[in-house]
A and B are shown apart, each in its own frame.
Chain A
Amino acid sequence: MLCLRLRHFALAVLWCAVALPATGQYTSHFGRNKIQYENFDWHILKTEHFDIYHYEEMQELAEYGAAFAEEAYEELQNRFNFSLTHRPPLIFYSSNLHFKQTNITPGFIPDGVGGFFEFLKGRVVIPANGNVHQFRRVIRHELVHVFTYAKVLRVIRDHRVPPERFLPLWFTEGLAEYWSGTPDASHEMIMRDAVYSNYLVPLSNIYRISGTFLMYKQGEALCRFLAETWGEEKLLRLMENFWKDRDFRHVLEVTFLEDFHEIDRKWQEWLRERYFQEIDGLELASLEAGGVATEGFNAKPTFYRFPDGSRKVYFVGNLTGYSNVYQVEIDSLFRPLGEPEILIRGERTDNFEALHVFESRMGISGDGKLAFVTKSGETDVIHVYDLVANTLLATYGFDGLVAVHSPAWSPDGNRLVFSSITASGFSDLFVYDIAAGQLHRLTHDSYDDLDPSWSPDGRRIAFSSDRTTTGKHNAYNIFAYDLDEGMIGYVTFGERLDHSPRWSPDGRQVVFTSAVQDADGRYGAQNIWTAEAPPDASPEMASFGSGAIAFQSDVAADRASSGRRLRRLTNLTTSAFDPVWTKEGHLLFTGFEHMRFSIRSLPAADSLWAHPRSEEIVDPTKAEEPWTFARIGLQDSEESVRYRKQFTLDLAQTIVSQNPVWGTQGGAALAFSDLMGDDKWFLTVYNNARGSSDFLNSLNVAIARQQLHRRTNIAYGLYRFAGLRYDITDPDAAREFPTLWETIYGGYGLISYPISMFRRVEASTSLSWDDKSIPWAQVDRQALLISNSVSLVHDNVLWGMNGPIEGYRGSVMTAWTTDVLYSNVSYLTFAGDVRHYWRLHRYITFASRGMGRMNTGREARLFFMGGSWDLRGFPLFSVRGQKMWFTSHELRFPILLAPWLSLPVLAPLGVANLHGAFFFDAAHAWNASYHEPGLSDRLRRQLNIGETVGAIGGGLRLNLFGGLVLRYDVGYRYRDGFQYRERFFKQFFFGWDF
């Protein structure tokens, strides 16, 4: 389902390489665009063990990262009892939005990916997200992979076993999580929920959740269980025993000297003992709180009461695959009055390119203006939508601010406060004065400032931050920024994870979520808490440098000495997020339960506050100096240099084939790229000589280069192709066995400019000398061909497991191919292809496709059709013509979404998503005249031209291992404009739906 820009680009190069005389005859390929908005000026910071790649704007963060990497190296060297003998390249990006532009992986990177390690060049790629602790943790995680890979590779090579095997993903990711640090709050949340909701996947079936977030957390829990039970040494022993058997279950048995199923049983028992002992008194959100929106994944609720008295809850959700802003009307008891409706359609248009479902809250002003964030182009922007007038009022983007999160309105509705990650990679607070168009920066440091909320009196802004003195241990507390004095004070204090503050309607309390560690260091459930609002007299606060602030005046000191009272309002099994204390006395929040995020409401917030589940007194006067991490600066490192491209081998492949008809043929392909993956070279050499004297004449060589580091992608190359060619598209070739001798020299260039993530313009040109010979047809012609094309491509479709399920994609292309020397060839090409996918129901899609192609002029090539990709019931290439139209319509519906639940034996085969389809295909191809009246019946039937042919039928689709779709179609094929039903056909194929 990776709609890779690189894929279409590489394919385009391939198309050109094999059919250069007429590049124009092929239509463009679909796929979204991965855009390089930034031209990163890469530098390398060389530390003792690593090469740290970074750009200048994030120098400080890179210095933190360098220190974290060296710190992790020292630790992992001990944990693995192993040293690296190479210098791994660590490539840092200052934000996820910059990270998404990397060419090191060709795929699209979604929100929430913390980094990756790739095997080809051993590169570690990590973005910061404003949170230095998280940055540190991800560096550790990825370096565990680096060590694991190096160690296992060594085991494989030492024992000379075939390298096709590797450790299972649950183990490598689980180990990386386990050795990254103490279990974080999300780990505890997931494992608690898995145990309480009984969806824990046994070790014996863990392949079913391979690659999922749950697998990461279960893998971590498994590694912790193994280490706590048998000692960490056994984890290393597991790697050292890895060569003994392909079946990792057996390796587990010989390492732990236990039966595999017994290990599995003990692990589950260990988990249950761990979590069931604390279940007494816990409350399920689904029982305690009313559901406002419980289908799909929903988060970041906010509430507005309209002047007419109606009430609506707004949230960001993903019910169908696309993320949208939803609205749902509720009654006075906060019960939904209907199904949620989409207010803003996300992920389909340039303006609302992506919604950060779990990262950015929304704010509603008193007069009903909804502020929310989407990615739009290279940065995030804030949109303001008038809920009363139901119209988008404005969109604000800010120079220098890359990621923008959680806008909140001032009480007067004139200003917005939000957090933002700048190019430096740190998250700070900003206020935007809408009327004046001015942006003010409130904080400017390396602390992670999040989720600001304006107090009802307009004088303070509450926010969550790790600037607390306990922040070095990854604690977050709630702070208040005094706008009059420009100072920051503690609202909560201590080693807690306090997040998402919002003010109570009267401004006397701040409601927030918090997870607190127990005596063993484990995080408990994340509950809803309140804290007394800080004193509003600004002289009571004073600054301690750039970070922590504590009360200073006598009055405040007295008050603070008695501590600040925190009240826990809930006692949930897992987690609550983003609480909102509405004026109507309800608490709206996001609840996590049964691996699902839903919007819920608790009535009587005042009562909950008056009768809290527990209370805690914290004392902010104990705040000390702000924390900081060590850095490895330029002066400490061995050297820092500007990045220069060095090409290293990515791929080397040789092929030799023998064929009784074509003889012995052989060739080699090489691919090189630079470390950033921005620049790629491809070299192909191939020889199809039938004898030694023919060797040079039959030499085929192509060299191509792709440059991807700019927004406009460029490819160019040179080639020489010669030999006997089978070309079904050549108008001079024989109909039944279209072969010809051809020698071509030439060069080509391609550019692809992405207008947005969804649209691009492509242009190509080629110049080639072509010598074609068809002795039996007495054709012998030379031509100096120029072929130019330009196309426009749009694609915003959403993919399911078997193919597109919603959205639209289309392309139009025109090209001109001519012989500038002899005028032997001269033709124009026009092509269009439009596909639309209507979602009739969550699991039912109606897909329609229309396509038209035309080559017209001298020696115009033939298009072809047939086979499972388009016209079903007709063999591939069986429909040929210079002009053609085609339409296809398909109703796709589910039969069994998880067949392995009914038939467990299918599970190891990765069988999923059994769908059915009814289809209708029709096509018409012709050359000179639409019905080709002069053509003999035999030739008409042979080429299937001059008549409308088609097929009607149904089929089944089945996904294997998430990436391979089996398609089986049956139906009748028709001729003569569907007046004649020719025959029944059955067709089996591997490939996505169109």
Chain B
Amino acid sequence: MASIFRSSRVSGRLALLAAVIGGMSGCSTLRMDPQHIMDPVWPVEGGDTFRSNAVPDQVDPPLQQRWRFNAQAGFGPVSPLVLGDAILVATRKGEVHAVDLESGKRFGRDEFGDAIEGTPAYADGVLVVPVAWGGRAVRASDLLTGDRLWRTGDIPVSSGLTVWGDFVLAGDVEGYVRAWRLEDGEEAWSVQLDERAGIYSTPVLIGDTLVVASDRGRVAALDPSDGSLFWSADAGAPVQVSLAATEDMVFVATTRGSLRALDTRSGGLRWAYDVTNGEEGEYVADQGGLAMRRGSFAPPQKYLSAPAAGARDLVFGASDGIVRSLDIEDGSLNWEANASAAVSAPPVITAETVYVGTMGGLLMGFDRHDGSLIWNTELDGRIKSAFALKESLLIVLAEPRYVYAYEPDPGDDETEGE
């Protein structure tokens, strides 16, 4: 099926023309000083390879906007990366912007062809970017020199990348999990999870186990060294958002209102929480599958956001506009709160506060213990991308094309909380 992913936007001659024009006008590059990338604090989607979206520090609401940067295009569900004092933001126009964390000013930019849906990966000065359309879908650049290192992959990649040792790992939209050598982009191995399934969910890496899920609901744990299968499980419904994990469990959120905690070692179901079928919280087994019931008009399914996994709790949003916090050990409901609009971006957990971005354009802070709304502010558009955090600076991507940096407001007079 590789042939169907030809990009209509770039033919050979057009690419040549673009190269000539680019050469005449001066190509932009993404070259960064070493201090920009030393001590990366949010180097992958979710902050770590568990995609926990959680930090032990507290970010006290209310927050105030420090700066706003116009990225000139919208964002996918990607999380920005925070490397030292630089933020790397990928856009659906195919650009990666390097923004100074303090000032919000851009100091570098590079174009990678087509839209970037998944979060790039960073390792040892190399940035690897997944491209969601066309061929050569994984592209690496040296951040110190700005050089393009390699391009590989025939199938577009819409999920985030993971670095394991010398390998870059990704799932593509045809359901293959692939490993490329970080050094030169040569494919080391590939396995297909399902036929006619795509991978839109960013995998998690738990030690030496890579867990990946497809949009047919297949969850698989693979050996990142050779792609061999450790275990496989059925999520019961398509999985389109990033997984999250702890040392013991992998959390899988589906498009049909089910959140499952799978045992990291065996793939066995530890608990499940269901927000669509039956009593809320009650897991109704075997209700998933891809096909809808024949002849029926199915009730609306609820899309769950990727969860944020703290030490004791798991917080996620849903298309019904409810944010839920579960006990991470048994899946029991701690609290739920109304966000007044659909929530598709994963929340971020700080010591005392959970921050949530909504499709209604609200940035909200909830008390981590009881879910009470502490603070909220309205942005220019929907928040549908994952957050990033550096210390107390919250990086938010929102429509139409803005990157915001929010920090605690030293004064508390403007609190808008209930």
Partner of B303, one of A74, A76, A78, A243: A78
A159 on interface, CB distance cutoff 8 Å: yes
Alpha-carbon distance A182/B72, docked complex (angstroms): 42
A875 on interface, CB distance cutoff 8 Å: no
Q: Are A157 and B74 in contact (CB under 8 A)?
A: yes
Q: Are B196 and A256 in contact (CB under 8 A)?
A: yes
Q: Are B301 and A77 in contact (CB under 8 A)?
A: no
A7 on interface, CB distance cutoff 8 Å: no
Partner of A77, one of B240, B321, B401: B321
Interface residues of B in 276-320 (CB under 8 A from A): 290-292, 294-298, 300-303, 319-320
Partner of A520, one of B93, B294, B319: B294
A940 on interface, CB distance cutoff 8 Å: no
Q: Are A257 and B196 in contact (CB under 8 A)?
A: yes
Q: Are A521 and B297 in contact (CB under 8 A)?
A: yes
Identify the stretch in A55-63, A230-238, A387-395, A433-441 within 8 Å (CB) of chain B at 4 or more residues.
A230-238
B341 on interface, CB distance cutoff 8 Å: yes
B407 on interface, CB distance cutoff 8 Å: no
B173 on interface, CB distance cutoff 8 Å: yes
Shortest beta-carbon distance from A250 to chain B in Å: 7
Contacts of A237 in B (CB 8 A): 215
Interface residues of A in 810-836 (CB under 8 A from B): none
B40 on interface, CB distance cutoff 8 Å: no
Q: Are B8 and A247 in contact (CB under 8 A)?
A: yes
A943 on interface, CB distance cutoff 8 Å: no
How many chain B residues sit at the interface, stated as a range, is 35 or more
Q: Are A160 and B359 in contact (CB under 8 A)?
A: no
Contacts of A79 in B (CB 8 A): 300-301
Contacts of B290 in A (CB 8 A): 229-231
Q: Are A231 and B291 in contact (CB under 8 A)?
A: yes
With contacts A78-B302, A154-B74, A159-B73 known, is A227 near B4, CB below 8 A?
no
Q: Are A520 and B300 in contact (CB under 8 A)?
A: no
Alpha-carbon distance A160/B401, docked complex (angstroms): 10
Q: Are B291 and A81 in contact (CB under 8 A)?
A: no
Contacts of B298 in A (CB 8 A): 227, 232
Could you tell me the dominant secondary structure of chain A's interface residues? helix
Q: Quick one: CB contact mask for A148-192 with B, threshold 8 Å, 1 for yes?
A: 000000100111100000000000000000000111000000000
Q: Are A78 and B295 in contact (CB under 8 A)?
A: no
Q: Quick one: CB contact mask for B109-139 with A, threshold 8 Å, 1 for yes?
A: 0000001000000000000000001000000
Q: Are B73 and A82 in contact (CB under 8 A)?
A: no
Q: Quick one: CB contact mask for B361-375 with A, threshold 8 Å, 1 for yes?
A: 100000000000000
Partner of A78, one of B1, B197, B320: B320
Alpha-carbon distance A74/B340, docked complex (angstroms): 10
> Which of B115, B174, B381 has the most chain A CB atoms inside 10 A of its CB?
B115
A41 on interface, CB distance cutoff 8 Å: no
Partner of A228, one of B133, B238, B292: B292
Shortest beta-carbon distance from B70 to chain A in Å: 13
Q: Are B296 and A160 in contact (CB under 8 A)?
A: no
Alpha-carbon distance A775/B388, docked complex (angstroms): 75
With contacts A158-B75, A160-B73, A521-B296 known, is A78 near B319, CB below 8 A?
yes
Q: Are A159 and B93 in contact (CB under 8 A)?
A: yes
Q: Quick one: CB contact mask for B226-253 with A, threshold 8 Å, 1 for yes?
A: 0000000000001010000000000000
Alpha-carbon distance A158/B402, docked complex (angstroms): 11
Contacts of B320 in A (CB 8 A): 74, 77-78
Interface residues of B in 159-212 (CB under 8 A from A): 173-174, 196-198
A982 on interface, CB distance cutoff 8 Å: no
A3 on interface, CB distance cutoff 8 Å: no
Could you tell me the dominant secondary structure of chain B's interface residues? loop
A8 on interface, CB distance cutoff 8 Å: no
Shortest beta-carbon distance from B336 to chain A in Å: 16
Number of interface residues of A (CB under 8 A): 42
With contacts A157-B400, A232-B292 known, is A182 near B342, CB below 8 A?
no
Partner of B294, one of A74, A182, A228, A257: A228
Q: Are A83 and B360 in contact (CB under 8 A)?
A: yes
Alpha-carbon distance A444/B290, docked complex (angstroms): 47
Q: Are B344 and A182 in contact (CB under 8 A)?
A: no
B358 on interface, CB distance cutoff 8 Å: yes
Q: Are B196 and A258 in contact (CB under 8 A)?
A: yes
Q: Are B342 and A254 in contact (CB under 8 A)?
A: no
Contacts of B296 in A (CB 8 A): 182, 520-521
Partner of B72, one of A160, A228, A520: A160
Alpha-carbon distance A914/B319, docked complex (angstroms): 52
B382 on interface, CB distance cutoff 8 Å: yes
With contacts A159-B92, A227-B292 known, is A75 near B300, CB below 8 A?
yes
Contacts of A232 in B (CB 8 A): 292, 298, 301
Shortest beta-carbon distance from B202 to chain A in Å: 16
Q: Are A81 and B294 in contact (CB under 8 A)?
A: no
Partner of B342, one of A77, A247, A253: A77
Q: Are A83 and B342 in contact (CB under 8 A)?
A: yes
Q: Are B300 and A78 in contact (CB under 8 A)?
A: yes
Contacts of B292 in A (CB 8 A): 227-228, 231-232
A583 on interface, CB distance cutoff 8 Å: no
A645 on interface, CB distance cutoff 8 Å: no
Alpha-carbon distance A337/B107, docked complex (angstroms): 88
Q: Are A85 and B381 in contact (CB under 8 A)?
A: yes
With contacts A229-B291, A243-B115, A254-B173 known, is A158 near B92, CB below 8 A?
yes
Q: Are A246 and B8 in contact (CB under 8 A)?
A: yes
Closest A residue by C-beta to B5: A254
Contacts of B4 in A (CB 8 A): 250, 253-254, 257
B141 on interface, CB distance cutoff 8 Å: no
Contacts of B215 in A (CB 8 A): 233, 237
Contacts of B92 in A (CB 8 A): 158-160, 243
Alpha-carbon distance A254/B73, docked complex (angstroms): 23
Q: Quick one: CB contact mask for A594-634 with B, threshold 8 Å, 1 for yes?
A: 00000000000000000000000000000000000000000
Interface residues of B in 74-114 (CB under 8 A from A): 74-76, 92-93
Alpha-carbon distance A210/B124, docked complex (angstroms): 55
Closest A residue by C-beta to B257: A78
Closest A residue by C-beta to B73: A160
Alpha-carbon distance A521/B292, docked complex (angstroms): 14
B52 on interface, CB distance cutoff 8 Å: no
B255 on interface, CB distance cutoff 8 Å: yes
By a beta-carbon cutoff of 8 Å, the part of chain B in contact with chain A is 1, 4-5, 7-8, 72-76, 92-93, 115, 133, 173-174, 196-198, 215, 238, 240, 255, 290-292, 294-298, 300-303, 319-321, 341-342, 344, 358-361, 381-382, 399-401
Closest 6 CB pairs of A and B: A158-B74, A520-B295, A83-B359, A78-B300, A83-B341, A81-B303
Add 4 more A-B contacts to A80-B319, A85-B359 (CB < 8 A).
A78-B300, A81-B255, A158-B76, A257-B196
User: 11 A–B contact pairs at CB < 8 A?
Assistant: A77-B341, A78-B300, A78-B303, A154-B382, A159-B73, A182-B297, A233-B215, A243-B92, A257-B197, A520-B295, A522-B295
By a beta-carbon cutoff of 8 Å, the part of chain A in contact with chain B is 74-83, 85, 154, 157-160, 181-183, 227-233, 237, 243-247, 250, 253-254, 256-258, 518, 520-522
